[in-house]
Structure 1
């Protein structure tokens, strides 16, 4: 499990250079759901964290504040989504 997609893609490259197959021998996951995640080889399993929606809500709050509204309009929770791709596989116990 990597803290972002770029690290995960780098890890997959290192795993492949070591003669192993990401997603088959070792599962790899990232976080961010960058565009590169879906075109990596293998495609990277990652967590989408709603960064576009967070940006939209932050901009709206800032614009409201600049317009004179000092009342917050509540707490907004963005539900992350796991994007399962080929870099993770079924758990196989060691023999």
Structure 2
């Protein structure tokens, strides 16, 4: 078997990544949010410019093992942080790269 066509690349960014580089952010993590969004833009632009490539991004929040979620949920909900079980995140990411992108970002 040869390589899959198209080559599908999934970039794991983060829930707080900001693609609009003109957005003014404040705080200690603002540069990180913009940098992650910029990388998303670059990955998507590369795929758009190269036949045989598809790309997307996944923007999960906090990723924890399913057994650890109950202790984290009260704090996450209070702060509005999205959470996902590690097992569910991995399953969703594998599904996307195997079966194709239905929406972007994931």
Q: TM-score surpassing 0.5? A: no
Could you state the TM-score of these two structures normalised by the residue count of structure 2? 0.26
Could you state the TM-score of these two structures normalised by the residue count of structure 1? 0.28
Q: Kindly indicate which of the two structures has a greater share of residues assigned to helix.
A: 2
Q: Kindly indicate which of the two structures has a greater share of residues assigned to strand.
A: 2
Bigger Rg, structure 1 or 2: 1
